[in-house]
Copies of this chain bind each other. A is one copy, B any other.
Amino acid sequence: MSSSNELDKLIRALQIQPGIGQRSAMRIAYHLLERRRQDAVELGQILISAMHNIKLCQCCRNYCDYEVCNICQNPERHNRQLCIVESPSDVAAIEQSNNYFGLYFVLHGHLSPIDGIGPQELGLPELDQLLSQEQFDEIILATNPTIEGDATASFIAAMAAKHHIKSISKIASGVPLGGGIDNVDQKTLASSLLNRRPFAQ
């Protein structure tokens, strides 16, 4: 028990954040109380408002403030390309790589029958409807390169094939750029050898 029950409660509550244990939570609580009380009150208000107001976009299931998200509403995006990802943070990562200007569809997970996560939970009926309503030239499968992610990608590829889409692709896996080949795990290296490409001059 410390000198203040409210402080104890704050230190416990801060630990719902991933990567924040008791020591970090104490450091954060003391820092906010000592130096940034007003900012911390604002953080509290923003947290409450965000948790109540952020919902899923009706088109792509990414997080958004209204019915349709900023990306789906943007007329400059290439609306014949659709990239399918497991989570909203994957969208953020791809956006930051600054090399894709099409639309997205967010699954919020991968197929995992043991955990009761089937096509329904991943919004695949909505995706099916989207594919029949809109005319996509290309579907890019950007699920994680894991067993579950690959299985999910296969399932979606089979579904998309019914809609006569010109190109269904999967993002490349292999040795990360700038990395040393001797630091890469065996499976990645094996896959990167199997999927070698003609050398482009």
Number of this chain's copies in the complex: 2
Contact A63 B9 (CB under 8 A): no
Count of chain A residues with Cβ under 8 Å from any Cβ of B?
Answer: 61
Interface of A is mostly: helix
Chain B residues with Cβ under 8 A from A28's Cβ?
17-20
Enumerate A11-45 residues with CB–CB distance to B below 8 Å: 13-14, 16-20, 24, 26-34, 36-45
Contact A51 B30 (CB under 8 A): no
Contact B108 A9 (CB under 8 A): no
Contact B14 A19 (CB under 8 A): no
CB nearest neighbor in B for A62: B3
Contact B31 A70 (CB under 8 A): no
Binding site for B on A (CB under 8 A): 1-7, 9-10, 13-14, 16-20, 24, 26-34, 36-54, 57, 60, 62-65, 69-71, 87-89, 91-92, 95, 108
> Lowest 5 CB-CB distances: which A-B pairs, in order?
A44-B47, A44-B48, A3-B69, A44-B44, A10-B50
